[in-house]
Amino acid sequence: MAQPIQFEILAADGAARCGRLITGHGVVDTPAFMPVGTRAAVKAMAPHELWDIGYRMILANAYHLAVRPGADLIREMGGIQAFMGWHGAVLTDSGGFQAMSLASINRIDEDGIRFRSHLDGRPMLLTPESAVEIQQKLQCDIMMALDECTPYPAELSYARQSLELTARWAERSLRARTSENQALFGIVQGSVYPDLRAASARQITSLGFDGFATGGLSVGEPKLLMLEMAELSASFLPVDKPRYLMGVGTPTDLLAAIGMGYDMFDCVLPTRNARNGCAFTSGGRVSIKHSRNIRDSAPLDERCGCRTCRSYSRSYLRHLYRAGEILAARALTEHNLFFYANLIAMARSAIASGNFAQFRRSIASAGMEDFDETEEN
């Protein structure tokens, strides 16, 4: 089978590396953050706005798109890029996370995940084979193998059974792939048990995937434990293939993970927090809802060059948010995604110049705060 993607490491600084991921829809510089466009849309943003900020790859969700509007329709419309008017690359999550997040409407067995649609309750069976079939119809650039995203907390015995199921599903996913133009990534599980993480990584990396992801983290476990498991998992992943840390996304967590050697990231944090009135800035967290912003004529971030910071004051943004204007969500989302794109671009430059550790320290000393990923939901 032809190589659907190419990955080249251009520079390294310790474990951190910057590189180039070549897909059927263009080049993605790594490390790369992918905005989450679950239903083929990044909330509050038009595709050309994401492109102008600098994004070249976004994430969509195969389960949600299979439920509505349907993978067959998207294929008929020319694939997901043509359907949504996006010129860059797309990675689709298979639906394994939904098995956990929609636990009240699913059952997991050897065959796959038995859903009841969150829209109308109709029964669905998502198998490793059907997950690949759906993603091939979507014509995304990178597909994810179906896995069971082990919840936290999980008993040792359950976590072991879960990772073994994920390994069997991984093999079935590879056998189901027929497209030569789409990459397929395998996912490491193992919950928060080091021995299981290592076992899962060995199992998954022994298979013929085009890249590898670390999953099952940032699902409620303590942050230090999450970082420990992410680093342990990364140590088993091949150096010459892209490494993807799924669903982890505070600024300092991203920089920590880049320092571990991860190349790709996604998280709803910048867009979700924006819709709830919270912004990332070079000085830390800003809640636009706060009364201190009523008469503040300054932008969100004096050091930011995004359209929001060039155009609007904190006072105006607070007014928009309090008034329920759609522009508030758009302006804050654009700012947060610009912030993330700039942070990752600076990390790439720091790696290339051999100054990544110093760059991380400078971000910490600037007062950068992490956001609680559930606080503003």
Determine contact, residues 274/249, Cβ cutoff 8 Å: no
Task: Indicate if the alpha-carbon torsion angle 186, 192, 196, 197 is positive or negative.
Answer: positive
DSSP run (H or E) holding 133: helix 128-138
The Cα–Cα gap between 357 and 173 comes to 38
Determine contact, residues 296/314, Cβ cutoff 8 Å: yes
Determine contact, residues 119/188, Cβ cutoff 8 Å: no
DSSP character string of 268-336: SHHHHHHHTTEEEETTEEEETTSGGGTT--S-S-TT--SHHHHH--HHHHHHHHHTT-HHHHHHHHHHH
Both tokens of 288, joined, read: 């636009």
The Cα–Cα gap between 272 and 43 comes to 9
Q: Is 183 helix (H, G, I), strand (E, B) or coil?
A: strand
Q: What are phi and psi of 60, to 5 degrees?
A: -130, 170
Q: What are phi and psi of 86, to 5 degrees?
A: -110, 130
List the catalytic residues.
93, 266
8-state DSSP, 213: E
Determine contact, residues 267/288, Cβ cutoff 8 Å: no
